[in-house]
Structure 1
Amino acid sequence: MTGIRKVAVIGAGVMGSGIAAHVANAGVPVLLMDIVPEGAADRNALAKGAVARMLKTQPAAFMSPRAAKLVEACNIEDHLDRLAEVDWIVEVVIERLDAKQALYRRIDAVRKPGTAVSSNTSTIPLDALIEGMPEAFAKDFLITHFFNPPRYMRLLEIVTGPKTDPDLAGAVADFADRRLGKSVVRCKDRPGFIANRLGIFWIQNAIAAADDLGVPVEEADAIMGRPFGIPKTGVFGLVDLVGLDLIPHTTKSLRAALPEGDAFHATYREMPLIATLIAEGYTGRKGKGGFYRLNRQGGQKLKEAIDLKTGVYRPSAKADLPELKGAKGPRAVLDLKGRTGAYAWRVIGPTLAYAAGLVGEASDDVAAIDEAMRLGYNWKWGPFELIDRIGGAYLAERLAKGGTTVPPILAGLQGKTFYRVENGQRQVLQADGTYKTIVRPEGVLRLEDVKLASQPLLKNGSAALWDIGDGVVCFEFTSQANALDEQIMVLLAKTIKLVKAQYKALVVYNEGSNFSVGANLGLALFAANIAAWGEIEKLVSLGQQTYGQLKYAPFPVVSAPSGMALGGGCEILLHSDAVQAHAESYIGLVEAGVGLVPAWGGCKEMLARWQANPTLPKGPMPATAKVFETVSTATVAKSAEEARDLLFLRPADGITMNRDRLLADAKAKALSLVEGYAAPKPATLTLPGPSGALALRMAAEGFANRGIATKHDLVVAGELATVLSGGEADGLDTLDEAAILDLEREGFMRLVRTEATLDRFESVIETGKPVRN
């Protein structure tokens, strides 16, 4: 099979349209097809409507509105012959075998030989799907099970049959990996494959146990969340997120497909409450609510939770479980006395036993099952990693005492663990009792692997420096939430000296959930509370100096963000020679939201970028106005592609779709800059001065008059206007970078002394959001 240059998706429902949107996010043209609605004036109405909805949905399906232009709305009556144009056809129609096979016969009549055809099913076996189809069709057929929403969920389960061409399946998997950013897990042709089979078992078990033990939904989610490395949604919050109506549908399909003796059946029970909720439109967050809802009566927003026994909503209360705070690790939670420990065991014990039973059934690979649950359900640890944390012998003994059959791979551990590190390499246990080294795909470089085989070159409490080979080093933030502090600046300064003396290039990267949420506000608030203004100003100056040294270092610096890169995290990107960003990077200068102005060079760098931008009219005011608009509203790009539009990224900066490939891509970019490298020349800026600042303040007052900006927003906007307009300079003066840095620092220090800004700090620390004062 040649490369995939064009794709068709048949079925413009939520899943199909989401898959089409994500193919377009990869820059690949896609035909989106559906039936012709009866009596429709526009025969492409279903596909066109799907594209229009996706442009409005939140979280956004498209990484940029430009991507939507790559989706062409079609219908299967008039345009089926156009399937001859594409290299991969994805079927996402109703989960009915007869409907799918009828469509396949029509597809086979018009497709090019060798075109990949896949189904997004998670319940119908591949053998059944291709039964009666020509050999040539069976050779080109596979299952590609995406998870919803396709843009954000990294897991893709692929199932092939004995007749599937392995080269074709490999080409689809490679495209999904490199272009769509998916982690591909190969599964056996079994009902539910891996993630849904185990995930739905876990969910059913958790709901039934809460009902049996009288555990309120808030307590259940607290117990089943962070203590076990599961997102804070827990179980009931997760069901609300994915949709209550999907659970009975998937459960019914699995019950029908799984053999009679499968443990899945023992977890099933009729839940009249769920049926009632669905019938009344309580389908989760996409409906009127679910196990939780927001009661908006009287103009208020009161979070409520349902009572599982009565079906009546009541005000939601934070779970009061002090015993959880004292329990160190998942095993300690399982050992807790009373309802908390009992509930934890009722859910986790059978779930881990069921996972162990899937080895050889859903997959031969323990690591694949772990990967499926980490990526399909956002578990921090896969089930076998969790067993290692709990203790295999402990789990097996407790299961046996409770009358549960211990799966062979768990019974045979005999003091072993599922994972071990040998000679600096992570290995995983096989079903035959031997260990296999985990080998990353070509082009994947993980810092966690580097750490297993080496020691840091430099390290302190907030950062570390690692040698990643070929003369390139990686600077890693290690502070909580990767918040930036003095220790990071100190180590970064040391790093610059070391790289200058011994290495070729520097990459700034980490494998946290977020690149950096910005400066450590807790430390700033503490310093302000004891009036240590000199210490705060010292840190501002240190950041300015360090980022300046980074920008003008005699070697290439490449930053590689993923997740949030906010405030100071954004500013380090702005001072790098290049950025290689994960597609899901959310970048912005958000200081105004917490009552500050960017003061580590963010203002000067954005001014320089917009003054050099050819799309803006010449003159001192257009760039100033553009940066003011972005920074005063704390605008955050919702994708790396959007960050290009805002100039947080430049046209030459790279975007990596697969998170696992980000470090390797950043390293390659850094090496590509080494030969003939010269540090950038300092920018000089022409800014409008006091008249420009006045115009910006008047614009901000207009927002305040419309109720959009608060009183303190106007104070912050005033300081920002002064910085971006160049202070007392006029439109005939040119300012160097040092002058803008002085203005940033002075404005920052005036704002940090205000009570309103400190109130915002405190609010962010306590609630995660600044107070609107």
Structure 2
Amino acid sequence: MAGTNFEINKVAVIGAGVMGSGIAAQVANAGHKVLLLDIVPDGASNRSVIAETAVAKMKKADPAPFMSKRAPKLVETGNIEDDLEKLADVDWIIEVVVERLDVKQALYRRIDAVRKPGTAVSSNTSTIPLARLVEGMPDNFVRDFMITHFFNPPRYMRLMELVNSAKTDAALVAAVTDFADRKLGKSVVACNDRPGFVANRLGVTWIQLGVLKALEQGLTIEEADAVMGKPFGIPKTGIFGLIDLVGLDLMPHVGASLKGALPEGDMFHETHRDLPLVDRMIAEGYTGRKGKGGFYRLNREGGQKIKEAIDLENGHYRTSEKPDAPALKAARKPRQVMEIDGPLGRYAFNVMANTLSYAASLVGDAADDIAAIDEVMRLGYNWRWGPFELVDQIGGAWLVARMREENMPIPPLLETLGDRSFYRIENGRRQALQPDGSYRDIARPEGVVMLEDIKRVSEPLLKNGSASAWDIGDGVVCFEFTSKANAMDDQIMALLDKTIGLVKKNYKALVIYNEGTHFSVGANLGLALFAANIAAWGEIEKLVSNGQSTYRKMKYAPFPVVAAPSGMAVGGGCEIVLHADAVQAHAETYIGLVECGVGLVPAWGGCKEMLTRWQKNPATPKGPMPATAKVFEMLSTATVAKSADEAKDLLFLRKDDGITMNRYRLLADAKARALAMVDGYHPPEPEEIVLPGPSGKVALEMAAQGFARRGIATPHDMTVASELATVLSGGATDIIDHVDEESILELEQESFMRLVRTTKTLDRFESIIETGKPLRN
């Protein structure tokens, strides 16, 4: 029996399909060895070819299942005929084979014969109840068995549904939960042993409702997706775009499984229909993005790329058109969409009222509390708000009254809600309504600190329109960006400067962190474009100068500064990370200096910091040119690390910077790192480096000309590359001279200001603002 100190070190995954191999990759990303097994194909000379091929594919896949080039080395491949005995050396066995009960149970009997007692065994099933999976199995197997339902792709989807029985060893469940949380980065949601658990049961019903109601009410797929999008906090894929993303061919299989497993009277059955159009699309290879297209496709005839959408009435493709619906564009909140007069409002109400009603009926069945169901939909379907948070936004009393008008069934949980809300703040604590009518605090897992909780019970130390500073306890201040997309601007610089002074006087350390989707997308190009259009060059130069000054002040402050990025940390967002004493990064941090792509050079110290890092790097060949050439290559191509692990290889992060796998644990880890640095802290000494000077600039420009000859670099790319070469080579310096930080910062600012005055750079600004894509001019 598993003891309370049971620890998971090595994992086995059986089933090397897309999901199984992805789970194995995530275990390897966490730094743990993993055994990946599959069947022996008939007549195969290489008996482990399935698992080996899966790993080979993952090395080339984009988006990448592996976070680094080191991770694949931790995956050992094999097959279940020759290598099953190796399961005796692992601590957790994850079964990810075909969704057939007989196949799974036959495998379990073979696993049980070789595993060591107390080894955790779990199934990744999404539809088969645990009770059926373990029917007829020995008691010791039942004790060690649970369901761990991952989501695809396992690296990027943060949700894991966990199901166990009353007989499952509680210590083993705790060990698996802790490993999935801390090492695999998952938010583990406990679900009851019911068909489809929460995500498939609720999510698939919502999708089916979306398709069915669009057909019934004569909406185009573009109209349906626009309604089921931004106002409800749902990704812009909406319903039909999501089906394309997941795969049309997957939907019938999941639907059929739920149809056979869910009891009569369940709302799912009312939404499940055989759709001839979908059957025909699948038969013709229109299975979504992985096939020739789906509800949407790109028509590439004649060398063009024309987005097309299928007509739900006749099944023919036509040019996709955005809905011309002023009322929908004006709607900012869920209820406003549901109140639109006409088909779009009726569609919004019918789909979401039924979905929210179904969610309420699942409380006490699929899961025991509303917070769990909300978490599933937020992380499993990327909804901004869970269904019960949506009810609170819409207004529960209004929703129930409207449902009653429409003669819709109202589940007891909604019926008894009255004028209350599902969530409330009491004594600074967020509480959730329970099925018995009481409210209970929403408890964070041990070791999780969220800034949103701190903000709920305190006032900011400092605040302006783009940033704020918060006391997060133990003498640590958290500096938070609050601008749109956390873009860097003059207000952020001004408040960071004030915050540095405040910490110096009254606190021990500073953490730079926020809970946005992205840490920072870089400088606010809109403000820069506005200033350029009115020829306010002095204001732009002042912004550059103030940014350099503030970042340097932060770097040499008499207290430790820890940056805690997650998501995109590019441009100016990358530069603030580069100036921190230490970094505690979320594993999914995408970091880089991308200024050249928008026609600029990094000018808040990014060039300076990367040059010093690559010159000090022990693996860099000696002399001024190798480091300069490497930084030129990275910055001129706007290289972005695709994980925190890769950022270490590129020196955007240092070797000893920390990586947190679970996004919810990032602030606590960053705070702990900052506090560990306080005793005996001394700021770094200013550095001088040797740069190659004019001859080095010529060499860099020649390398850029090679790209131009191959058609990779545009004329303006060459202009930008020349300015970047000026900065990185050290300007007019002699190769025997040492160049200090101030000199490089001056070069950064001079080159930046020359470029920002060019029409082609401003054209790139405009393109980014309007389309989100850089102009290739």
The answer to whether the superposition gives a TM-score over 0.5 is yes
Residue aligning to 2:725: 721
1:539-582 Cα shifts (integer Å, max 9, x gaps)? 00000000000000000000000000000000000000000000
1:504 to 508, 529, 551: 508
Does 1:434 pair with 2:438?
yes
Shift of 1:444: 0.2
Note the 1:437-448 alignment, pairs <5 A. 437-448=441-452
Residue aligning to 2:653: 649
Partners of 2:68 and 2:186 in 1: CA distance: 19
Shift of 1:397: 1.4
Partners of 1:423 and 1:623 in 2: CA distance: 55
Shift of 1:395: 1.1
Partners of 1:583 and 1:691 in 2: CA distance: 40
Q: Which amino acid aligns with 1:474?
A: C
1:603-630 Cα shifts (integer Å, max 9, x gaps)? 0000000000010111000000010010
Partners of 2:325 and 2:72 in 1: CA distance: 47
Residue aligning to 2:158: 154
Q: Which amino acid aligns with 2:278?
A: I
Residue aligning to 2:58: 54
Q: Which amino acid aligns with 1:347?
A: V
Does 1:80 pair with 2:91?
no
Partners of 2:435 and 2:618 in 1: CA distance: 61
2:184 to 174, 180, 185: 180
Which SS does the other structure have where 2:739 is aligned? Answer: coil
Does 1:124 pair with 2:131?
no
Does 1:8 pair with 2:16?
no
Residue aligning to 1:622: 626
Does 1:546 pair with 2:550?
yes
Does 1:469 pair with 2:476?
no
2:756 to 752, 760, 772: 752
Shift of 1:326: 2.1
Partners of 1:714 and 1:94 in 2: CA distance: 54
Does 1:323 pair with 2:323?
no
Shift of 1:328: 3.6
1:677-719 Cα shifts (integer Å, max 9, x gaps)? 0000011010000000000000000001001111100000000
1:576-614 Cα shifts (integer Å, max 9, x gaps)? 000000000000000000000000000000000000001
Residue aligning to 2:33: 29
Residue aligning to 1:114: 118
Partners of 1:730 and 1:294 in 2: CA distance: 54
Partners of 1:363 and 1:208 in 2: CA distance: 26
Residue aligning to 2:740: 736
Partners of 2:93 and 2:759 in 1: CA distance: 59
Residue aligning to 1:660: 664
Partners of 1:116 and 1:296 in 2: CA distance: 50
Does 1:416 pair with 2:427?
no
Partners of 1:395 and 1:112 in 2: CA distance: 54
1:425-467 Cα shifts (integer Å, max 9, x gaps)? 1000000110001111111000000011100000000000000
Q: Which amino acid aligns with 1:89?
A: I
Partners of 1:289 and 1:279 in 2: CA distance: 12
Residue aligning to 1:680: 684
Does 1:299 pair with 2:299?
no
Q: Which amino acid aligns with 2:410?
A: V
Residue aligning to 1:269: 273
Partners of 1:257 and 1:399 in 2: CA distance: 28
Partners of 2:475 and 2:615 in 1: CA distance: 35
Shift of 1:402: 1.6
Note the 1:249-648 alignment, pairs <5 A. 249-648=253-652
Partners of 1:359 and 1:404 in 2: CA distance: 19
Which SS does the other structure have where 2:314 is aligned? Answer: coil
Shift of 1:65: 1.8
Partners of 1:240 and 1:202 in 2: CA distance: 15
Partners of 2:289 and 2:331 in 1: CA distance: 32
Shift of 1:477: 0.2
Partners of 2:726 and 2:324 in 1: CA distance: 48
Query: Sequence identity of aligned pairs in percent?
Result: 71
Q: Which amino acid aligns with 1:384?
A: F
Shift of 1:346: 1.5
Partners of 1:298 and 1:651 in 2: CA distance: 50
Shift of 1:321: 1.7
Higher mean displacement: 324-333 or 187-196: 324-333
Shift of 1:166: 1.1
Shift of 1:86: 0.2
Q: So what's the TM-score if we normalise by structure 2? A: 0.99
Partners of 2:707 and 2:672 in 1: CA distance: 45
Residue aligning to 1:246: 250
Higher mean displacement: 720-729 or 208-217: 208-217
Partners of 1:548 and 1:250 in 2: CA distance: 55
Shift of 1:295: 1.1
1:33-62 Cα shifts (integer Å, max 9, x gaps)? 001111111111000000011111111100
Which SS does the other structure have where 2:70 is aligned? Answer: helix
Partners of 1:327 and 1:715 in 2: CA distance: 44
1:456-500 Cα shifts (integer Å, max 9, x gaps)? 000000000000000001000000000000000000000000000
Partners of 1:697 and 1:669 in 2: CA distance: 42
Unaligned runs of 5+ in 2: none
Partners of 1:225 and 1:371 in 2: CA distance: 18
1:145 to 149, 155, 160: 149
Unaligned runs of 5+ in 1: none
Note the 1:179-258 alignment, pairs <5 A. 179-258=183-262
Residue aligning to 1:697: 701
Partners of 1:724 and 1:441 in 2: CA distance: 47
1:182-213 Cα shifts (integer Å, max 9, x gaps)? 00000000011001100000000000111111
Partners of 1:234 and 1:58 in 2: CA distance: 23
Partners of 1:314 and 1:587 in 2: CA distance: 39
* Structure 1 consecutive aligned stretches of length 4 or more whose deviation exceeds 4 Å: none
Shift of 1:154: 0.4
Q: Which amino acid aligns with 2:501?
A: K
1:5-31 Cα shifts (integer Å, max 9, x gaps)? 000000001110011011111001000
Shift of 1:319: 2.2
Which SS does the other structure have where 1:145 is aligned? Answer: strand
1:293-329 Cα shifts (integer Å, max 9, x gaps)? 1111111111111111111111111222210222241
Which SS does the other structure have where 1:65 is aligned? Answer: coil
RMSD: 0.6
Partners of 1:218 and 1:405 in 2: CA distance: 29
Residue aligning to 2:674: 670
Which SS does the other structure have where 1:22 is aligned? Answer: helix
Shift of 1:281: 1.2
